[in-house]
Amino acid sequence: MLVIIGLVVLWYGLVPMTGALLKRYNWFKFRRHFNRLRMHRVIDRHTYWRMGTGECGDSPESTGVFRFTGEFESITETKTLWVRSEDLAVPVSLKNAETYLLPMQTDEDKPGISDPSDETPEKIRWEKIRAMGEGTKVFVGGRLAHEDGRWGFVSTKENPLTVIFYDGPDHSLARRAIWAGRHGGEYFNFVTPYSLIIGALCLLLVAVSFLPRPAFHLTVAVSLVAIFVPLFPLMPPGLLFTTIYRRLTWRSRILRAYSDLAKLPLHYFPPGTGEAANRQEPLRGKRVLPDGEMYGFAYRAELPAEVYSGKIPMLIPEITTLEKGKSWYIFGAVRPSEILPFRPRDPFATFGVLPGNPKKIARRYTVSAYLLETLAWLMLLSALALNIFFLTRVLPLLF
């Protein structure tokens, strides 16, 4: 019996969960890398021309990391993608690049209150990229290098190239990528099919080895039943706990996504800036964006009219203007002549309102997400335990 339990725990539990942790970590790396890329400069015609003429020399511009947005123009047999903006066309080498397709946007300006995993970017291969239509929007982030007599984006070990095909406004891409850059149903991952097959074969081998011995018919039955352990949560009477588990994990994914959205403005400020704003000084911790524009935030005890009219969006979709007793933080581009922050020229700079200190909001959402996830796993284990208890009462009656 201990061998059967060990096989079930190993192949149906530990191995798939290891794959789940790897999947979660990979999407975490995607979000972290994208956040770093959006902080780098946009390659423009002037900088690209200086690099082409050699004026940059050994300056950081000559070997720097840049980002670029434009439209799909063409792709060559050597896996070179050409992306064109209004005044510049840049070659992008897709060798070793991470390429994604962001699902079609359903809301013009913000993600909806739904499971982020429903909008997970699809990692696409060369064949699907070739089928892209001309004019498809493309985001490119990575290192510019001189290859084959021209400057273009390439992927390196230190700076892996990220290419995202998307639709909708440019200013919504950062929020959509961070919101949707995670995956649901983590148990079913790239190792799960192999793990389930190996586990089932091992249990079947145990059953066959004990089949000739009449005294071990119960062991044979347990081995055969254990093959179907992954289906136990979907069977009554434990199905009710499984339903609760799915609901809790759905909610925990949303809360983790909210936490990441709340952290978006923090990438622009040094540690401790948020606490400075608690003194109700209107513009503190200002920073210069890559395009030279000043970025900052304003503190307000009450929401300004621009939020009610929709000119300034809520960073967290779930939060409404009806909430009372909040201290509101408005993030965006700032200048002395403007009372409130406004939408930055840089479409990847965070613009919107949060009901309090971003760091505290993110921490609150993170803690709530982990609590719900822990409770969800307790529900799933309860479903398994209940169905196993039911089978232990039924099997002895049959054998």
Residues 233/381, Cβ–Cβ less than 8 Å: no
Look up the pTM and report it: 0.87
CA distance 56 to 58: 6
Q: Per the omega criterion (within 30 degrees of 0), is the bond before 237 cis?
A: yes
CA distance 342 to 344: 6
Residue with more model confidence, 11 or 77: 11
Structure tokens at 173: 């891409």
CA distance 66 to 72: 18
Sign for the pseudo-dihedral over CA of 76, 80, 86, 87: negative
Architecture of domain 42-180: Beta Barrel (2.40)
Single-letter amino acid code for the residue at 17: M
Pick from 207, 231, 226: nearest CA to 395: 226
pLDDT (mean) for 298-311? 88
Continuous H helices in the chain: 2-9, 15-37, 45-53, 126-130, 173-180, 192-210, 217-226, 239-263, 273-276, 305-308, 358-398
- Partnered with residue 42 across adjacent β-strands are 67
pLDDT in tens, 259-301: 999 999 998 886 655 444 444 444 355 788 999 999 999 988 8
334 φψ region: left (φ > 0), alpha (ψ -120 to 50), beta (else): beta
pLDDT value at 141 more than 70: yes
Residues 6+ apart with CB under 8 A from 235: 387
Identify the band that residue 172 occupies on the pLDDT scale cut at 50, 70 and 90: very high
The domains of the chain are located at 42-180, 261-363
| pLDDT of res. 189 | 86
3-state SS assignment for residue 135: coil
| pLDDT of res. 275 | 47
Single-letter amino acid code for the residue at 282: P
